Amino acid sequence: ANTVGSLIPYPNKERAFEKIHSGERGEVFVRFRDFGNELPKLVRAEFNGEVLCQNEEYDAPSSTMTRRQSMSTSSPIGQKSAPREIVRQRRPPPSTPSNDPNPFLPSIMPRIDSDFEECGVEGFSPLQIGGDLVTRGQYPWLAALYEGVGTATYKCVVSVISKRTVITAAHCIYGKSASQLWVYLGRHDRNENPENGASLVSVTSVLTPSAYEGNPVPDADVGLLVLTSPMVYTKYIRPLCLWGSNMGLPPNEGDTGAVAGWGYDRSAQKTRFPKTVSVRLVPRDQCLKEMKRAEDFITRRTVCAGNSESHGPCFGDSGSALIVLRNNRWYVRGVVSLSPRHGEICDLSKYVIYCDVARHID
């Protein structure tokens, strides 16, 4: 029991209790902590001394869990884009863009209408040895950006933050017409077209900060895409939470986060399925000290994060959200903007620079 970090009704307390009272099976999300390399065994669950469920004792799994995680590694800048995909969906007529005075704070209805309305809730994921592959529905806000008319090619990672809005890096969408862009919601297997449970949708508005003028500067490298019509939340499509002003802005020493996306593998091949990696956020002064040559790009509106094993986002992962767990919900803290390079490859021994999304929310 000492390895259990939290035990949470899934997808929320109200819905879990409804299922139990109606005779259905209730589900809980168990998060383990500090279990070393041996996989924990769950053999009994009790509540106030009452046994809820139990199983026979069983031998320890023959496999072990490793904390080594990888997502994308170095690859040549000149790599060709992902294989083209045929877009067969007719573009709906454009609708009127939102008149929200602050597009970087999209409206998310507070009332819960279904199991999937809550933001930042991680989906169930089978145990993965190595932990680097994202399982289907694990990060339901994860989506892919495609560009093209008639045929479309993969461009960047985007994340769902409301029913009509996704967030990404400005350099992925700056100067692009909405008619050129498509968002593949619920995307997982890039080789499957169409993909069951996923939806290719059109874009009606492209929004980038006025401070971003096409220069690859992380300080304002964030953008929003407004979709033509509201999406329907499912177990594969759910929003990420936005970082609140009351949550603190400068990263704290030891803060950790995660990044997920479709980048390159060790052999410089584009990945078919998304991968994730854990990263550590570092204070700005530490980032400046260790990356003097990048000091012009490191400002109060950027976040630095890295991985001690030199794993992290690289080419193909632009726009990926840097997410941080707070009270069992995932919040977007930044978006992937700039990876230091060594010649024509990413130098992941250095920190990756993210645009600090929290600084752009007024």
Could you tell me which CATH number the domain at 241-360 has? 2.40.10.10
CA dist., res. 313 & res. 218, Å (int):
15
For the chain, which residues make up each domain, given as ranges? 4-54, 85-227, 241-360
Could you give phi then psi for residue 28, rounded to 5 degrees? -130, 155
Q: Please, what sign has the CA dihedral across residues 228, 331, 325, 305?
A: positive
Going by their DSSP bridges, the two strands 321-326 and 142-147 should be labelled as: unpaired
Going by their DSSP bridges, the two strands 199-207 and 223-227 should be labelled as: antiparallel
Cis preceding-peptide flag for 194 (omega within 30 of 0): yes
Q: Which CATH class is domain 85-227?
A: mainly beta
* Closest by Cα among 243, 227, 252 to 334: 243
CA dist., res. 354 & res. 141, Å (int):
18
* Closest by Cα among 62, 233, 87 to 150: 87
Residue 236 and residue 186 in contact, taking contact as beta carbons nearer than 8 Å: yes
**Do 241-360 and 85-227 have the same topology in CATH?**
yes
* pLDDT (0 to 100) of residue 56: 61
Q: Phi-psi bin for 20: left (phi > 0), alpha (psi -120 to 50), beta?
A: alpha
Tens digit of each residue's pLDDT, the chain (362 residues): 456 656 777 666 666 666 666 666 677 766 665 555 455 666 677 766 677 677 665 555 443 333 333 333 332 323 333 334 434 444 444 444 444 444 444 433 333 345 678 999 998 655 444 448 889 999 999 999 999 988 889 999 999 999 999 999 999 999 999 999 999 999 999 999 899 999 999 999 999 998 887 666 788 999 999 999 999 999 999 999 998 877 877 666 678 899 998 876 655 667 899 988 888 898 888 888 887 777 778 888 898 888 755 455 554 468 999 999 998 999 999 998 875 554 445 555 578 889 999 888 76
Residue position matching structure tokens 């145990």: 127
Q: What is the DSSP string of 112-172?
A: --STT-STTPPPP----TTS-BPPTTSSTTEEEEEE-SSEEEEEEEEEEEETTEEEE-HHH
* pLDDT (0 to 100) of residue 34: 56
Give me 66's structure tokens.
Answer: 């490793």
* pLDDT (0 to 100) of residue 35: 52
pTM (predicted TM-score): 0.68
Give me 99's structure tokens.
Answer: 């008149």
Largest Cα–Cα distance in the chain?
Answer: 62
Residue 291 and residue 351 in contact, taking contact as beta carbons nearer than 8 Å: yes
Q: Please, what sign has the CA dihedral across residues 299, 223, 196, 241?
A: positive
Cβ neighbour number for residue 229 with a 10 Å cutoff: 12
Residue 240 and residue 119 in contact, taking contact as beta carbons nearer than 8 Å: yes
Residue 322 and residue 332 in contact, taking contact as beta carbons nearer than 8 Å: yes
